[in-house]
Amino acid sequence: MKRPSGKTFAVGLDLGGTKILAAVFDGRNRLLAREKKSTKPDLGPGAVLGRIAECVNEALAVSAVPHTAVCAIGVGVPGMVDTRSGIVRVAPNLRWKDFPFGKLLSARLHIPVVVVNDVQAGTTAVQHLGAGRKLRDFVCMFVGTGIGGGIVIGGQQYRGSAGMGGEIGHMTVIASGGPKCGCGNRGCLEAVASRGAIVRRVIEEMADGRKSVVHDMCDGDPRRIRSRIIAEAYLEGDKLVREIIDDACDYIGIGAANLINVLNPQAVILGGGLIEALGDKMLPHIRKSAWAHVIGATDERVKIVDSGLGDDAGVLGGALVARTLAK
Amino acid sequence: MKRPSGKTFAVGLDLGGTKILAAVFDGRNRLLAREKKSTKPDLGPGAVLGRIAECVNEALAVSAVPHTAVCAIGVGVPGMVDTRSGIVRVAPNLRWKDFPFGKLLSARLHIPVVVVNDVQAGTTAVQHLGAGRKLRDFVCMFVGTGIGGGIVIGGQQYRGSAGMGGEIGHMTVIASGGPKCGCGNRGCLEAVASRGAIVRRVIEEMADGRKSVVHDMCDGDPRRIRSRIIAEAYLEGDKLVREIIDDACDYIGIGAANLINVLNPQAVILGGGLIEALGDKMLPHIRKSAWAHVIGATDERVKIVDSGLGDDAGVLGGALVARTLAK
């Protein structure tokens, strides 16, 4: 017979191309501590692994939870992941390919590690603790560097026949002559409405001579533009940023409408860096665009809301996944 | 205790805005007879009901099946349907609204009637007898007057949280400045790739002075243009029709790619009047466009094929639905 292990704590890890976020949760999913580090993927996978381990160690130290009391670490990775083996197949923003991340991190920390896709982790959090809590059928749209999608049908995450579904950022919304996308195509939703696309447009317009407070906010270095800077410029009423964000909201609304027309979910739930920073301002605009493109749209028919989890969706999802998938 | 009823035959009815198709099937879903009539919705619901009843009676007479040997009639209707009550809520092409069609037809013929949406009927046929036979996850695209979609997930038809999903024809593929759609929006897939859209463009271009064999084929009356005429003009090498069909294939491919990126089905299965008439010619072009817009596309990853049922998908689906849903 199995004895209860006493390992009631879980660590959630949100691994992005820019930053690492680690958080410790108790048995009732209450946040005990959160630590943050820059990722620095340029230094190579080994160095990133070291930074991740440090980040976890610091979060555990701050929360005074011993390693032996942690059931598992759940990591959301921006890329294609083999959860069974813990191998990250490909993660472009980290420049990882076939990296046995789970095994290496587990060996380093002596804690079981569960590796999932970051959108899967975020969707899990939304489903169990966020705006999707009481819903059976919904779609998550995570708007960040790219645009990822989580689909929940009948209370289960649906990732398609080969686990490759949810690529909502690569729906074509401009069938010809749209801007180039990272995937090689043109006119993808991600190419016109992600934070990446927004930053690119801000930079282009500034290079063409348009004025924006963003220039000073990033000290003239466009590589330093983050969601936070875009949000501040928007809130200060910067004309260029407002125009570009408004356009992005139109497109996000069209993307939401496409998903609503095809899948008829109870809700579309928005998350990701840009929405966390500017959700209050963007949501009314996104809704207006979506209603205009949905067949028989009413607010009664489908809710478009934010995740209700703010910055914590990723780490919370990691912790939940750690609990359910760790052996 | 219930005795086996001996009612082994089923009637499938495909009700369109242009034509009524009724077919009688034996207990092993073999076609015994098929009858066709024009719908003439202008004459009003009562007249259409009469024409439908006649069509069924003729098909039964030809197949020498007595009314008492029919378990049920299954009807696919182009519109929103309440299957439980048999009421057609709204069917724009028939100009029906809240019409108690099931009850009236059943009273007329003394046979139980099951009323479903036409896309649902077609998808049922594809799933049980067509190209979807061995698949668990696939999407049907029916390209006709409009573009309808059937989604099968885990072997079950999925119509969303309120039964309003599958409106794939109203995915926006041209985010601004696209042609007007019947739904009131612009840039919907249906507005650029349905038979309706193709016919509209042929008419517009001919009005602008472009030559096409279609003009003679329809005796100068554009209202007489059907899928068959478009197909004949294409096969004769008519330059205008080829251009317009090629464009439509590009868009259908983009629509398929959007569905593949979001849902990762095992296959996208194409049906409907235009595909039945020109599938051989259109499919290679549709595939090429789709592969160009799918993330990590390979022919191995997802098949794009026709239904394998030709003109019979609708009536077959009706008969299958009649058997499973009739009480």
Interface of A with B (CB under 8 A): 136-137, 149, 151, 153, 158-168, 170-175, 183, 185, 192, 250-251, 254, 257-259, 261-266, 292-296, 301
Q: How confident is the model at residue B220, as a pLDDT?
A: 85
Residues in B touching A161 (Cβ below 8 Å): 136-137, 264-266
The answer to whether B165 contacts A263, with C-beta atoms less than 8 Å apart, is yes
- By Cβ distance, the residue of B183, B258, B265 closest to A172 is B258
Q: What phi-psi label fits residue A161: left (phi over 0), alpha (psi between -120 and 50 degrees) or beta?
A: alpha
Residues in B touching A167 (Cβ below 8 Å): 261-262, 264, 295
Q: What is the least distance, in Å, from the CA of A274 to any CA of chain B?
A: 21
ipTM rounded to 2 decimals: 0.93
Is A217 in the same domain as A76? no
Is A185 in the same domain as A303? yes
- By Cβ distance, the residue of B160, B167, B264 closest to A160 is B264
Judged by DSSP in three states, B62 sits in helix
**Contacts by B24-29, CB closer than 8 A, 24 or more apart:** B24/B59, B24/B60, B24/B62, B24/B63, B24/B65, B24/B70, B25/B315, B25/B316, B25/B319, B29/B129, B29/B316, B29/B319, B29/B320
In a domain, B4, yes or no: no
Residue of A37, A55, A162, A75 whose CA lies nearest to B136: A162
Q: How confident is the model at residue A1, as a pLDDT?
A: 43
The answer to whether A264 contacts B165, with C-beta atoms less than 8 Å apart, is yes
**Rounded mean pLDDT of chain B?**
93
Q: How confident is the model at residue A327, as a pLDDT?
A: 60
Residue of B262, B269, B289, B300 to mutate, interface with A, max A Cβ within 10 Å:
B262
Is B248 in the same domain as B321? no
Nearest-by-CA chain A residue for B186: A293
Is A95 in the same domain as A168? no
**Rounded mean pLDDT of chain A?**
93
pLDDT at residue B4 is higher than 50: no
Query: Per the structure block, which two tokens stand in for A251?
Result: 């497109």
Residues in B touching A137 (Cβ below 8 Å): 160-161
In a domain, A25, yes or no: yes
Quote the CA–CA distance of B272 and B270 in Å, as a whole number.
7
Task: Identify the domain containing residue B108 by its residue range.
Answer: 9-122+313-325
Residues in B touching A170 (Cβ below 8 Å): 261, 293-295
Is B317 in the same domain as B243? no
Query: Residue B2: pLDDT band by 50, 70, 90 thresholds?
Result: very low
Quote the CA–CA distance of A253 and A244 in Å, as a whole number.
14
- pLDDT tens-digit series, residues B87-130: 999 898 899 999 999 999 999 999 999 999 999 999 999 999 99
Residue of A169, A9, A192, A139 whose CA lies nearest to A78: A169
Residue of B171, B251, B266, B302 to mutate, interface with A, max A Cβ within 10 Å:
B171
Nearest-by-CA chain B residue for A297: B164
In a domain, A181, yes or no: yes
Nearest-by-CA chain B residue for A293: B185
The answer to whether B261 contacts A136, with C-beta atoms less than 8 Å apart, is no
Size of interface A-B (CB pairs under 8 A): 118
pLDDT at residue B72 is higher than 70: yes
Is A317 in the same domain as A283? no
CB contact at 8 A, A98 and A89: yes
- pLDDT tens-digit series, residues A224-247: 888 889 999 999 999 999 999 999
In a domain, A1, yes or no: no
Is A95 in the same domain as A153? no
Across the range B48-58, mean pLDDT stands at 98
Nearest-by-CA chain A residue for B256: A171
Residues in A touching B249 (Cβ below 8 Å): none
In a domain, B2, yes or no: no
The answer to whether A261 contacts B158, with C-beta atoms less than 8 Å apart, is no
Residue pointed to by tokens 């058997």: B323
Q: Amino acid identity, residue B314?
A: G
Structural domain count of chain A: 2
Is A295 in the same domain as A248? yes
Residues in B touching A293 (Cβ below 8 Å): 170, 172, 185
Is B148 in the same domain as B226? yes
In a domain, B3, yes or no: no
Residues in B touching A257 (Cβ below 8 Å): 172
Q: How confident is the model at residue A299, as a pLDDT?
A: 60
Is A262 in the same domain as A320? no
Residues in A touching B251 (Cβ below 8 Å): 175
Nearest-by-CA chain A residue for B171: A258
Query: Per the structure block, which two tokens stand in for A255?
Result: 């993307």
Residues in A touching B137 (Cβ below 8 Å): 160-161
Is A22 in the same domain as A49? yes
The answer to whether A162 contacts B264, with C-beta atoms less than 8 Å apart, is yes
The answer to whether B175 contacts A292, with C-beta atoms less than 8 Å apart, is no
The answer to whether B295 contacts A163, with C-beta atoms less than 8 Å apart, is no
Q: What is the least distance, in Å, from the CA of B256 to any CA of chain A?
A: 10
Residues in B touching A254 (Cβ below 8 Å): 172, 175
In a domain, B286, yes or no: yes
Q: How confident is the model at residue B311, as a pLDDT?
A: 86
Is B317 in the same domain as B280? no
CB contact at 8 A, B153 and A152: no
pTM of this prediction exceeds 0.80: yes
Q: How confident is the model at residue A182, as a pLDDT?
A: 87
State the CATH number of the domain containing residue B47: 3.30.420.40
- Provide DSSP, B67-82: GGGEEEEEEEESSEEE
- By Cβ distance, the residue of A163, A165, A174 closest to B262 is A165
The answer to whether A170 contacts B137, with C-beta atoms less than 8 Å apart, is no
- By Cβ distance, the residue of B171, B254, B266 closest to A261 is B171
Residues in A touching B257 (Cβ below 8 Å): 172
In a domain, A302, yes or no: yes
Q: What is the pLDDT along chain A (327 residues), one digit of tens a residue?
A: 444 457 899 999 999 988 999 999 999 999 999 999 999 999 999 999 999 999 999 999 999 999 999 999 999 999 989 999 999 998 988 999 999 999 999 999 999 999 999 999 999 999 999 999 999 999 999 998 889 999 999 999 999 998 889 999 999 999 998 999 988 899 999 999 999 999 999 999 999 999 999 999 999 888 888 888 999 999 999 999 999 999 999 999 999 999 999 999 999 999 998 999 999 999 999 999 999 999 876 666 789 999 999 889 999 999 999 998 876
Tally Cβ neighbours within 10 Å of residue A297: 16
Residue of B262, B250, B266 whose CA lies nearest to B299: B266
The answer to whether A257 contacts B163, with C-beta atoms less than 8 Å apart, is no
Q: How confident is the model at residue B3, as a pLDDT?
A: 41
Q: How confident is the model at residue B151, as a pLDDT?
A: 98
pLDDT at residue B1 is higher than 80: no
- Provide DSSP, B305-322: EE-S-GGGHHHHHHHHHH
Q: Which has more confidence, A88 or B220?
A: A88
Residue spans of alpha helices (H) in chain B: 45-63, 101-109, 118-129, 189-193, 195-207, 214-217, 227-235, 239-263, 273-293, 313-325
Across the range B162-177, mean pLDDT stands at 93
Nearest-by-CA chain A residue for B300: A162
